[in-house]
Chain A
Amino acid sequence: MIQTIRLEELLRDTPTPLSRHLVTRPTGRAVRGGIERTVAETGCAMAVLDFTEVGLLDMSCADEVVAKLLLAGIACHVVLAGLREDQLEAVDHVLRHHGLAAVALVAESAPYVLGLADEDMRRAFGCVCSAGPMTSEALADQLGWRSERAAETLAVLVAQRLASAEGDEFHPLPLP
């Protein structure tokens, strides 16, 4: 199940709703708590964090909401949606800082990887997203890579929770 979590609603539900801006660490911690509760209550396989109605997102809050959520090993896949350019920059920075990566959905653009991802990861991610489930051999064929390179890259995508593995096949995240 895919659960869309509208962050501005979580902001309104914080004990002291202060503004529509995702700023300051205490605010970020409260919002992260809301995300974790929603995921636990719904048992969803994927949480789409929707930033659409959020005002500012500062670095401290991006760290608390996104980076710490991933570092804590949340029990589902996480996709970020509706980020504006300034918000993308903040999230990308904190993810890189922690050596993390996440999938971003931006209007009229293919899903892409934010954070620390090398060119191989980005190409493999794009290939799996557009072509659907594939083995490492199929990816190697498509990209003209050696099979070890394809297998290693796909394993990193799975470790970073940018794709999933079922047997020999690697699946794209079931994006909305």
Chain B
Amino acid sequence: MTRVVEVPSSFDDRSFDQFAGAIGAWPPDARLLIDARGVQWVSPYGLVGLLSAAQALKDQACPLPLFTMPQNDDVNRYWARSGFYEHAEGLFELHGKVPKHAGGNTETLLAVSPIRAIDDVHKAVTDISTNAARIVVEQLGIKAQETMRFGMALSEACQNIVEHSGSIGWVAAQSYTWRRKLGRKVVVMAVSDSGIGFRRSLEALHARRIGDRWGDGAAIEAGLIQNVSRFRDPGRGQGLALIKRFVLQWDGKIAIRSGTARLSIVPKWDDDVPLAEHIPYFPGSQVQITIPAPEAA
């Protein structure tokens, strides 16, 4: 039996819940067909989320999911340029023609990249640092010396996959113009893994302290707001503190989804809720950091 899971036509962190809901219970009781034919737009979050879904299915020895590519040629070429198909092979049974890689994307800060070990973190940091110097400075009008902080934030987010998730993950970053909400350029960095998630990672040390309120939402809150860690080492937990400070400094947004909850630090320009609970379950953790260009840029 095969279940069709339609990918939303505009696939980002907000429509991700619709995608997760279409998958249903984990592990799924049927082979999945991920239908991306109708996709018109995808964010880095959507791309790394799809790979995490497939990785989670693989981790749970589920049948290889089928994947039908976007019908829109431009959209499909973008998926190819982003590096998605390089990593999707082996995780999906791909249906459709993978476009030939037609050069790089001038707005890609970081192509879709796997995070399996520490050397992958170094590579991602090196890549985003090189591209940030070009894209962030030229397109967002952010000073060159400030671009270092993009790499620092990305490094901390990616390390969490290696140190806490128990699985592998994916990262991607892109700049684009966000006409609908801001009318400005933004940089979006997305990191997703298919691992144990915040709740299971922090449960042993922190569930008892938090008591009845313990769950996915409380666990993300403990990590992002209270900066606790699953390690007893008192130096731990500072990575998310750095990311939070970086986001606040740039009037940006961070949203962390794990299990059935999503916690966000919401700037004035966004209408998201700070805490969404009882949303459709999805394995692992997904982080999106959005940094807008300064208003004058």
Q: How many residues of A contact B (CB 8 A)?
A: 27
The yes or no answer to B75 lying at the interface (CB within 8 A) is no
Cα(A23)–Cα(B235), bound, Å: 15
Contact A68 B241 (CB under 8 A): no
Using a CB-CB cutoff of 8 Å, which residues 5-37 of chain A contact chain B?
Answer: 16, 18-19, 21, 23-27
Provided the pairs A21-B151, A23-B155, A84-B148 are in contact, do residues A59 and B239 lie with their beta carbons within 8 angstroms?
yes
Using a CB-CB cutoff of 8 Å, which residues 103-119 of chain A contact chain B?
Answer: none
Cα(A57)–Cα(B125), bound, Å: 11
Chain A: CB-nearest residue to B162: A24
Task: Among B146, B151, B238, point to the contact of A60 (Cβ < 8 A).
Answer: B238
Task: Among A18, A25, A68, A94, point to the contact of B163 (Cβ < 8 A).
Answer: A25
The yes or no answer to B77 lying at the interface (CB within 8 A) is no
The yes or no answer to A157 lying at the interface (CB within 8 A) is no
Task: Among A85, A97, A98, point to the contact of B145 (Cβ < 8 A).
Answer: A85
Provided the pairs A58-B152, A59-B241, A60-B159 are in contact, do residues A98 and B122 lie with their beta carbons within 8 angstroms?
no
The yes or no answer to B119 lying at the interface (CB within 8 A) is yes
The yes or no answer to A56 lying at the interface (CB within 8 A) is yes
Provided the pairs A24-B121, A63-B238 are in contact, do residues A56 and B163 lie with their beta carbons within 8 angstroms?
no
List the count of A-B residue pairs having beta carbons below 8 Å apart.
87
Contact B235 A98 (CB under 8 A): yes
Contact A19 B122 (CB under 8 A): yes
Using a CB-CB cutoff of 8 Å, which residues 61-89 of chain A contact chain B?
Answer: 63-64, 67-68, 84-86
Binding site for A on B (CB under 8 A): 118-119, 121-123, 125-126, 129, 145-146, 148-149, 151-152, 155-156, 159, 162-163, 234-235, 238-239, 241-242
22 A-B residue contacts at CB 8 Å?
Answer: A18-B119, A19-B122, A19-B126, A21-B126, A21-B129, A21-B151, A23-B125, A23-B152, A24-B118, A25-B163, A55-B129, A55-B148, A56-B152, A58-B156, A60-B155, A60-B239, A84-B148, A86-B145, A90-B152, A93-B238, A97-B234, A98-B234
